[in-house]
Amino acid sequence: MELRDLHALIAIAETGSLSAAARTLRLTQPALTASLQRLEVAVGVGLVTRHSRGAVLTEEGQYVLQKARDVVHDVGQIARLHDSLAQEPAGEVRLGLPTTVAGGLIPELIPLMQARHPQIRLHVVEAMSGVLHEQLQLGRLDLAVLFDSAPSADMRCTPLLTETLYLLVPRKHPMARLPAVDLVRVAALSLVLPGVANSIRKHIEVACLAKGLALTVLADVDSLPGILGLVRAGYCTVLPKYLAKGEIAAGHMVAVAIENPTLHWMLHLATRRDAPRPRASKATGKLIHAACANLVMRGDWAAEISTGQGLA
């Protein structure tokens, strides 16, 4: 049995005669008859009854006709899928990025997107992780980069990288000369930190709670420039080194390692499990992984690449 044999049966059913079916398929009538006979041998029953006015399908022929149309339709779908996959991903992708990530990732991601997928239009929303998680659940975002976000019944998450948190102090601070400082000493400092809804703040508080420590927070500041300005003015904070690399390079502040324990957190790429996943979103997810890897390999982002494969 071949696909052309199924086309022969369909043409006979639609035209009502072997000769008309042969003309429709641009075959000789003997070739069409051979296809019909091959199909009848394969299924083991007669499919067509000929009469003076043409041909009509038997009851068995009607059953096989229905199946033949299903097969031809499915084959056509596969062919169209091939055409779709050969096309360039296109359309708008709404991407949510935490404030702590956006400034470094956007300049790396956008040129990659323009070079590899110029027909994708990226709409970037910058907000705190908690807000991004909510917007993703509401369907207002297609993808979001989130911190310490585990897969759940409604959320698909893949790891991007693992990052270390440091104590950031002014360059003249007594702790600036230390290679590392215990978490107990960090908790005893008067700190300026992001607000309680921020992922960094939650991560630090969980680590302190595990050791029976309580943080002393002078001010909740949901502004990265604001926090860095306060550190330059003499205050201390806990942040990833990546966020303050310019200030550190300029000598305005020092990043001191935290130990007992070292504070690590993981960055994830998330999407809703029940959301449609067009090719543009999948392509964007892969480029986000590539952009993070580029930043880490160049030494621009002090982190370790995770082994996740992206949102396939």
Are residues 64 and 125 both part of a single domain? no
What pLDDT score does 306 carry?
A: 75
Are residues 282 and 259 both part of a single domain? no
**CATH number, position 185:** 3.40.190.290
In this prediction, residue 238 has a pLDDT band, given cuts at 50, 70 and 90, of very high
Flag whether 95 is in a domain. yes
Are residues 215 and 66 both part of a single domain? no
Distance of CA 288 to the CA centre of its chain: 8
Flag whether 312 is in a domain. no
**CATH number, position 146:** 3.40.190.10
**What domain range is 299 assigned to?**
91-159+267-305
User: What does the block give as tokens for 184?
Assistant: 């107990």
Q: Which residue(s) pair with 216 in the sheet?
A: 190
Q: What is the mean pLDDT of residues 267-277?
A: 79
CB 250 within 8 A of CB 75: no
Are residues 197 and 259 both part of a single domain? yes
Q: Which residue(s) pair with 265 in the sheet?
A: 163
CB 24 within 8 A of CB 11: yes
Residue where a domain stops, chosen among 54, 86, 118: 86
Flag whether 127 is in a domain. yes
Element (H, E) at 11: helix 3-15
Flag whether 116 is in a domain. yes
In this prediction, residue 84 has a pLDDT band, given cuts at 50, 70 and 90, of low
Flag whether 311 is in a domain. no
Are residues 74 and 209 both part of a single domain? no
Flag whether 51 is in a domain. yes
Are residues 219 and 277 both part of a single domain? no
Rounded Cα gap, residues 281 and 268, in angstroms: 15
Structural domains of the chain, count: 3
In this prediction, residue 90 has a pLDDT band, given cuts at 50, 70 and 90, of confident
Q: List the alpha helices (DSSP H) in 26-137.
A: 29-43, 59-86, 99-116, 129-137
Are residues 149 and 177 both part of a single domain? no
Are residues 132 and 167 both part of a single domain? no
Rounded Cα gap, residues 304 and 309, in angstroms: 15
Flag whether 275 is in a domain. yes
Measured in degrees and rounded to the nearest 5, phi and psi for residue 132 equal -65, -40
Are residues 277 and 152 both part of a single domain? yes
Share of the chain above pLDDT 90, in %: 60
User: Would you state the torsion angle of the CA atoms of residues 88, 269, 199, 272, taken in this order, to the nearest 10 degrees?
Assistant: 90
CB 239 within 8 A of CB 166: yes
Residue where a domain stops, chosen among 86, 108, 138: 86
Residue 241's nearest CA partner among 221, 222, 262 is 262
- The yes-or-no verdict on residue 134 having pLDDT over 60 is yes
Residue where a domain stops, chosen among 264, 282, 297: 264
Could you give the angle at the alpha carbon of 304 between the alpha carbons of 302 and 309, nearest 5°? 135
Question: How many other CB atoms are there within 10 angstroms of residue 207's CB atom?
Answer: 22
Q: What is the mean pLDDT of residues 104-131?
A: 90
Are residues 248 and 290 both part of a single domain? no
Rounded Cα gap, residues 169 and 137, in angstroms: 37
- The yes-or-no verdict on residue 223 having pLDDT over 50 is yes
CB 72 within 8 A of CB 6: yes
Rounded Cα gap, residues 174 and 252, in angstroms: 14
Are residues 171 and 257 both part of a single domain? yes
**CATH number, position 65:** 1.10.10.10
Are residues 283 and 252 both part of a single domain? no
